[in-house]
Amino acid sequence: MTDIEVRTASADDFEAMRDLFAAAMMFDASPDELSRQIFEPERALVAVDGDQIVGTTKALTRDLSLPGAVVPAAHVTGVGVRATHRRRGILSQLMTRQLREVPEPIAVLWASEPGIYGRFGYGAAAWAVNFEADLHRVGPPAVRTRPGELGEISVDDALMTLPALLRAVQDQRAGVSGRSELRWQQHLQDKPDDRNGRTARHILVHRDETGTVDGYALWRGKMNWGPAGPVNEVLVEELVAPEFSAYKVLWQHLLTMDLSAKLGYGYGAVDEPIMQLVTTPTALDRRVSESLWLRVTDVPGALRQRRYAVPIDLVLEVTDDLIESNNGRFQLTGDDALVSCERTDSPADLSLSVGELGAAYLGGRKLAEFATTGRVTEHTPGAINRATAAFTWPLAPVSLEVF
Ligand SMILES: CC(C)(COP(=O)(O)OP(=O)(O)OC[C@H]1O[C@@H](n2cnc3c(N)ncnc32)[C@H](O)[C@@H]1OP(=O)(O)O)[C@@H](O)C(=O)NCCC(=O)NCCS
């Protein structure tokens, strides 16, 4: 490792970093001016071997919804190591430095492989439910819509209308990442080269009685003909509707698309209300996988910035192999409105590592789940039950996009 140096990136590294990451993930990078504008070199690290970049990682400045709050969280992405330089500890060097340097108390990422990030103290904090719905069997109940209730809008109109709805959903569920104006522009780009045989993107909106847009879906179609006729596919990229009335109409519309046999959606929550909307939930054909991985980089800072479902007053003993200042005992006192978290010498009620803390942090996984395997240890009887009740949040977290 003596020949490998890790340094902060500069604006000039943009192309080399983009090409390295694309090669690592096995796709061809295409020029994209918005990506360049969004690039934050001061928050990116590169590993260099001589004058060649051989490893990259980036931390994006974005906010994230938590139980009871929306806060800045380092969104880690662009992690790649040149194939010729794998398994020499470059990723470990990049991750360690990045986690020690990010100013936010938490970092989040989507992992290409679940085996990679646990060793760096990340915990899988949210699940993504992938639906492959059989539209001939699923049976959404009929919904009568009013004229003008559903429509399609342009990208320009979407840029004005949709951000407020995403922000409203952040107040309902943890795990939802915010988007700046530039990021919205990038999200709504629709380059023909990226469509892979699917149609252009439809921006479907629902309007309430006053004509105000209160929900939207981004979707594409794909034409398919089977031996017995049309078996088109409906591919839903995003559906955001803080009002249930809008949510119901949008899903009903998509689940009953003519000529279609299948609907795919990859960003469902484990308690996604769509399961209550259909007569045959098994025909939604659900597959669950890890979505957002979360790393606590500052234990008291992180514990202070979320809220707790029921009052909690416990001492947590935390261990962290990478960030020394996270080790120790912390008195956590709080509820759904006020929180304090301070270092203490008092004896611990329960002990755990930052990995379990990260997994439970968004309220979707239970500390009790980790107690069954000895990863959380109870020292005071009842502490696990009380901590589990306080950390868990009523609705499951969900991450609505791979970043
Ligand atoms: C995954 C990748 C970043 C690993 O980089 P690397 O420099 O080879 O990793 P390191 O040498 O620092 O390995 C650190 C540890 O992680 C393990 N590891 C590395 N890649 C892994 C993988 N894909 N799955 C599981 N474990 C992995 C190593 O075995 C090593 O374990 P050890 O410490 O017990 O020996 C690199 O192989 C790569 O770029 N792959 C393709 C792109 C990709 O998957 N990027 C991640 C996007 S989320």
Regarding the beta carbon of 328 and ligand 1, being less than 6 Å apart is answered no
Q: Tens digit of pLDDT for each residue in 153-190?
A: 999 999 999 999 999 999 999 999 999 999 999 999 99
Q: What is the pLDDT of residue 1?
A: 52
Q: Residue 24's pLDDT band (boundaries 50, 70, 90)? A: very high
Specify whether the CB–CB gap between 267 and 128 falls below 8 A: yes
| Candidate CATH numbers 3.40.50.11540, 3.30.1360.120, 3.40.50.280, 3.30.1050.10; the one for domain 297-391 | 3.30.1050.10
What average pLDDT does the structure give for the chain?
97
Q: Which atom of ligand 1 is nearest to the CA of 109?
A: 48
Q: What's the CA gap between 227 and 5, in Å, rounded? A: 58
- 63 Cβ partners below 8 Å, 6+ apart? 70, 71, 72, 73, 170, 177, 178
pLDDT higher than threshold 90 for residue 2: no
The CATH fold assigned to 4-104 is Aminopeptidase (3.40.630)
Mean pLDDT of the 103-121 span: 97
pLDDT at 30: 85
CATH superfamily of 129-290: Gcn5-related N-acetyltransferase (GNAT) (3.40.630.30)
Q: How many CA atoms lie within 13 A of 54 on its CB side?
A: 21
Residue extent(s) of CATH 3.40.630.30 domains in the chain: 4-104, 129-290
* CA–CA gap between residue 319 and residue 340 (Å, rounded): 20
The ranges of the chain annotated as CATH 3.30.1050.10 are: 297-391
As a whole-number percent, the residues of the chain with pLDDT over 90 amount to: 96
**According to the model, what pLDDT value does residue 3 have?**
86
**What digits encode the pLDDT tens for the residues 221-270?**
999 999 999 999 999 999 999 999 999 999 999 999 999 999 999 999 99
Q: Ligand 1 pocket, 86 CB below 6 A?
A: yes
Residues 128-141 have pLDDT tens digits of: 999 999 999 999 88
Q: How far does the centroid of ligand 1 lie from the alpha carbon of residue 91, in Å?
A: 6
Closest-CA residue, ligand 1 atom 30, reads 87
